[in-house]
Chain A
Amino acid sequence: MAKAGTRQLGMRGALASLRDRLFQGYNMRDVRFGWLLVLPVTLWFGALIVYPLLYAFRTSFTNLHILYPDTTRYVALENYWEILSADDYFRISMRNTFIYAFISVALEMVISLGIALLLNESFKGRGIVRSLLLLPWAIPSVVNAMMWKWILHPDFGALNGIFYELGLIGIDNRINFVASAPRAIGICILASVWKAAPFSTLILLAGLQTVPLELYDAAKVDGCGVWGRFRNVTLPYLRPSLLIALVLGTQGGILIFDIIYIMTGGGPGGATEMIAYFIYLQGFQALRMGYACALSYMLGIVITIIAAIYFKLLYTEELM
């Protein structure tokens, strides 16, 4: 009946009935006020996030080069085809990023879980130690990278100094940490884990506080050991926090830029060239903006897939 009615009233009538259905049960004054309040931020997002993304999508089908804007033309899927079939550097930087992100996120999780469990115990000065966790999080990422570059300096660095004092190396064979590929990736991991792990620790500590203490006693009565209590009591309650720490850590790991820009510059020989840095080089050094836009859409697809996998693996009802 309703369908027949809309057909009779025509286009305008259909819209009116759609509007009625949409706003059914809503107070129109409230709705207008609510929309008014989100209007400024919506315009902001629209102009500076959504519009640029759409613009990038269009640009990714052109060969826009910032120095030769006159030669810009539509190239259909050429950029994407080049990325997938011909660009060795893309493949290498993707591989580097995955190696780096996997190791650093794994280390981050182990370290932050360890520290969180430790700081969940009671001891004197716990509050102070917990607030000191904010130190690595608060310092600028540029300073973090510079600090590690200085600590790992091949001639005057503190790490070489410690190795020397421990008698591990002589004064003449100080280690050059950026000279070999594994070491260069290692120092990037070291620097990023130092900054990111305390932050995940805070998230996990908050998760640990949601565990009801009675359950530990109950588990003890049921004959659970330390590991059993961790597996059956702590871990289920920690799941949401773990998922958040994991998602944030992975995102930060895949998008690593500052540390690479300052500590290694992608070297030695492209060993630490990660995907965000590679896109930056394509866009702002080679000035191939069209190609860089296509690259960032590929990166977006990869991130979406990873996020989907995480949610599939770890999502539970009580999370939201």
Chain B
Amino acid sequence: MAEIAERRRKRIRWGRISRQILIYVLVIVVLVYIIAPFLWLTISALMPRTELLNFPPHWIPEGLTTDNFKHLFIEPPPEKVYRFHIQITKKPEEYIHGLKNSVITAFSVTILALFFGSLGAYSLARIRWPGKHLYILALIAMRMIPGIGTVIPSYIIFARLHLIDTLLLLVILETAYLLPFSMFILYGVFQAIPVEIEDAALIDGCSRLQTMYRIIWPLATPGLVAAGTFGFLGSWNSFFTPLIFTHMRAKTFPVMIAELVTMWDADYTAVAATGVFASILPVVLALLFQRYIVQGLTTGAVKG
């Protein structure tokens, strides 16, 4: 009897161990799937051009260099890439200009969306007014509207106002497209804060506005961080809107990256370097605020 029980226990233990091994193997597969493509782009960005264009690829590069990044921002690369007599290699001034535009836009959009979004979201979460449910439904509907549908008429309207290719237009447009989403996240965040705290403050003689910035905003910090990160990433990564509404002066960094490729080929050293560079900020922000993001994502998404 004891022997059978012992054998059985062993089998269960072996089952558990092999299950654990299977889990680790699968996790490694998932990790490789997620990391390997971007890792390869990073390695490519650190390779000299002569080594980059090789087959089979040098999986482990012989010479690592930061020249590709230097050639983006400090000095122009020695050799320029042409396609059909059109130079697709860009000068450092152009990259710096694009980067400046991207930074200005992303920061302005984040601040505007957070400020006006939290005002609106507070009203939706806390104050009773007729038509509120309809408003929330309209907000959900607005999130479903395809960008291409609003972009074409907006282009006609703002071309008449001579606002195409200005940062001002880019900022107000990106904010408008992001606001429904950030309002929704903040709406969920404000709803999760207990009303009692606020009522106590109101009874103590605080005005509505005072309770908002003394009580609600401090308590909602994680949510505000999440919504802010979404806003920043949304604007920094945005491609379609700046592609349509900017041509020269207000051109953003992602649009410049897209210009490094023609239908047939591309300047791949610059592609890899700009790609890695443009990803640093969003990836760092995402990893830094990951807890808030996942929280905000789930409250925002599950409610939507």
Which residue numbers of A lie inside 8 Å of B, CB to CB?
22-23, 26-27, 30-31, 33-35, 37-38, 40-42, 44-45, 47-49, 51-53, 55-56, 59, 64, 66, 115, 118-119, 121, 123, 125, 129-143, 146-151, 153, 155-158, 160-161, 164-165, 171, 174, 194, 198, 202-203, 206-207, 240-241, 244, 248, 251, 254-255, 257-258, 261-262, 265, 267, 276, 279-280, 283-284, 289, 292-293, 296-297, 299-300, 303-304, 307
Contacts and interface: CB of A to CB of B under 8 A. Distances in A.
B119 interface: yes
A156 B146 contact: no
A297 B177 CA distance: 18
Contact of A161 (B57, B122, B159, B282): B57
A134 B286 contact: yes
Given A31-B128, A150-B268, A251-B144, A55 B283 contact: no
Contacts of A26: 128-130
Contacts of A207: 302
Interface in B133-183: 135, 142, 144-150, 152-157, 159, 172-173, 175-177, 179-180, 183
Contacts of B255: 142
Given A49-B142, A276-B148, A123 B20 contact: yes
A268 to B, nearest CB: 11
Given A141-B237, A142-B239, A300 B156 contact: no
B175 A44 contact: yes
A37 B190 CA distance: 14
A303 B144 contact: yes
B82 interface: no
Given A59-B156, A150-B41, A138 B282 contact: yes
15 contacts: A31-B128, A34-B127, A37-B127, A52-B150, A64-B156, A123-B24, A135-B34, A139-B38, A143-B41, A155-B53, A157-B57, A161-B56, A257-B148, A293-B152, A304-B144
B38 A147 contact: yes
B261 interface: yes
Interface string B261-291: 1010010100110111011001101110010
B223 interface: no
Given A38-B123, A49-B142, A139-B279, A206 B294 contact: yes
Contacts of A139: 38, 237, 275, 278-279, 282-283
A143 B257 contact: yes
A52 B34 contact: no
Nearest to A283: B152
B130 A22 contact: yes
Contact of B129 (A35, A48, A254, A265): A35
A30 B240 CA distance: 40
A128 to B, nearest CB: 9
Q: How many B residues touch the partner, as a band?
A: 35 or more
A48 B176 contact: yes
A290 B38 CA distance: 41
A174 B258 CA distance: 25
B254 interface: yes
Given A45-B176, A134-B287, A140 B239 contact: yes
Contacts of A138: 233, 279, 282-283, 285-287
A27 B202 CA distance: 15
The prevalent SS among residues of B at the interface is: helix
A101 to B, nearest CB: 13
Nearest to B54: A156
Contact of B40 (A33, A158, A255): A158
Given A27-B128, A55-B153, A202 B297 contact: yes
B17 to A, nearest CB: 13
Of B33, B40, B56, most buried by chain A (CB within 10 Å of CB) is B56
A59 B153 CA distance: 8
B278 A143 contact: yes
Contact of A292 (B130, B152, B173): B152
Contacts of B128: 26-27, 30-31, 34
B247 to A, nearest CB: 12
Contact of A203 (B119, B237, B298): B298
Contacts of A299: 146, 148-149
A31 B130 contact: yes
A141 B282 CA distance: 12
Nearest to B57: A161
A168 B179 CA distance: 50
Interface in B41-95: 41, 44, 52-57, 59
Contacts of B124: 38
